Chain A
């Protein structure tokens, strides 16, 4: 029986980079993986993390006109223990950053992060001492949604991009995917070599 070779991508599943770890896997398990990723992609429970005005658009996305429930994401959870995806909606101040990191650490694997709006993604107009210049300095971000604030359909497009990414993901466990982010660059080189 031919052995199917899978690629376990270290950092970002959408763009395979040189030096990805190659692993052999059985055909049966890849099918289970596909099934799992399909299930994960279509029941993304977001964490309510409204920080500023983007949260208003996030609420509108769940309301009846745009209806995020069509993508299985209507159940916004107030506790990180029950959430899959964290939507950082709004500017992240330096005082809030440790809180965000702690809540991210409390979310169970697999977990994803959507950075919504200009402020969360890069600081936006607030290039000053109080605002973190991009939430990816604190947590690994999967999808960036530009806009100030992004309209509900732009956010839905971001959610669909995340679903595409999850469906493409092939890994035995998601802790394998996330291991890269806890390593420093030197350790990354060791893992890759």
Chain B
């Protein structure tokens, strides 16, 4: 069987280029991640935050229901009594220590469901990778937001500051 220029070289090459030409007109599917973020679904569950009331008081009352609901047992809560001079939350008690082991957490959101005051919420910060184990023990100071509704805005990338669009159906 002899090699035919038309059949064995030109035709296969043209067939290949036909596919290339067909794909050229289509929109590219790749998201160039650090420069642009993909859209985030409304119920995306990533990093936890402890929220505040509009008055600035903490929502968390230190009831440990989140720790009880956690399947990975990664939450530790220690409660203390509020006093009139030192008031952190509207109830009788507040969480003096609130720690989450982010490495053990599976981001199931059961703590969010169990919370009676809506204190612990899972927001959209997914860039959590780090170098050492100790850096993943999130204390109350790291989890508590500075002002009410701090992290309700669309998520911005730590690397480039690109904003993640919100998925709208």
Chain A residues with Cβ below 8 Å from B147 are none
Chain A residues with Cβ below 8 Å from B159 are 157, 160
Name the residue of chain A whose CB is nearest to the CB of B44.
A151
Q: Is the C-beta of B85 less than 8 angstroms from some C-beta in chain A?
A: no
CB distance from A86 to the nearest CB of B (A): 15
- Asked whether, in the complex, the Cβ of B31 is within 8 Å of the Cβ of A65, the reply is yes
- Asked whether, in the complex, the Cβ of B71 is within 8 Å of the Cβ of A144, the reply is no
- Asked whether, in the complex, the Cβ of A143 is within 8 Å of the Cβ of B104, the reply is no
Given contacts A65-B30, A118-B72, contact A154 B128 (CB under 8 A): yes
Q: Is the C-beta of A15 less than 8 angstroms from some C-beta in chain B?
A: yes
Q: Is the C-beta of A57 less than 8 angstroms from some C-beta in chain B?
A: no
Given contacts A14-B131, A153-B37, A154-B127, contact A146 B105 (CB under 8 A): yes
- Asked whether, in the complex, the Cβ of A151 is within 8 Å of the Cβ of B126, the reply is yes
Chain A residues with Cβ below 8 Å from B37 are 153
- Asked whether, in the complex, the Cβ of B73 is within 8 Å of the Cβ of A127, the reply is yes
Contact with A along B108-126 (1 / 0, CB 8 A): 1000000000000000001
Q: Is the C-beta of B38 less than 8 angstroms from some C-beta in chain A?
A: yes
Chain B residues with Cβ below 8 Å from A65 are 29-31
- Asked whether, in the complex, the Cβ of B33 is within 8 Å of the Cβ of A66, the reply is yes
Chain B residues with Cβ below 8 Å from A37 are none
Inter-chain CA distance A192–B29, complex, in Å, is: 51
Inter-chain CA distance A147–B105, complex, in Å, is: 7
Contact with A along B8-35 (1 / 0, CB 8 A): 0000000000000000000001111110
- Asked whether, in the complex, the Cβ of B106 is within 8 Å of the Cβ of A124, the reply is yes
Inter-chain CA distance A125–B133, complex, in Å, is: 17
Chain B residues numbered 25-76 whose CB sits less than 8 Å from any CB in chain A: 29-34, 37-38, 46, 71-73
Q: Is the C-beta of A132 less than 8 angstroms from some C-beta in chain B?
A: no
Given contacts A118-B103, A123-B104, contact A144 B129 (CB under 8 A): yes
Given contacts A118-B103, A144-B103, contact A15 B132 (CB under 8 A): yes
Number of contacting residues on B, CB 8 A?
A: 31
Contact with B along A32-75 (1 / 0, CB 8 A): 00000000000000000000000000000000111100100000
Chain A residues with Cβ below 8 Å from B131 are 12, 14-15, 142-144, 161, 165
- Asked whether, in the complex, the Cβ of A161 is within 8 Å of the Cβ of B104, the reply is no
Kindly identify which residue among A67, A122, A142, A158 contacts B104, using a CB–CB cutoff of 8 Å.
A122
Given contacts A118-B103, A146-B136, contact A158 B30 (CB under 8 A): no
Q: Is the C-beta of B82 less than 8 angstroms from some C-beta in chain A?
A: no
- Asked whether, in the complex, the Cβ of A125 is within 8 Å of the Cβ of B30, the reply is no
Q: Is the C-beta of A121 less than 8 angstroms from some C-beta in chain B?
A: yes
Inter-chain CA distance A66–B130, complex, in Å, is: 20
- Asked whether, in the complex, the Cβ of A118 is within 8 Å of the Cβ of B32, the reply is no
Q: Is the C-beta of B102 less than 8 angstroms from some C-beta in chain A?
A: yes
- Asked whether, in the complex, the Cβ of B132 is within 8 Å of the Cβ of A157, the reply is no
Inter-chain CA distance A52–B125, complex, in Å, is: 24
- Asked whether, in the complex, the Cβ of A143 is within 8 Å of the Cβ of B30, the reply is no
Binding site for B on A (CB under 8 A): 12, 14-15, 64-67, 70, 118, 121-125, 127, 134, 136, 142-148, 150-151, 153-154, 156-158, 160-161, 165
A to B CB contacts below 8 Å, 11 in the list: A118-B105, A122-B101, A123-B104, A125-B104, A143-B129, A145-B128, A146-B136, A148-B107, A153-B31, A156-B34, A157-B159
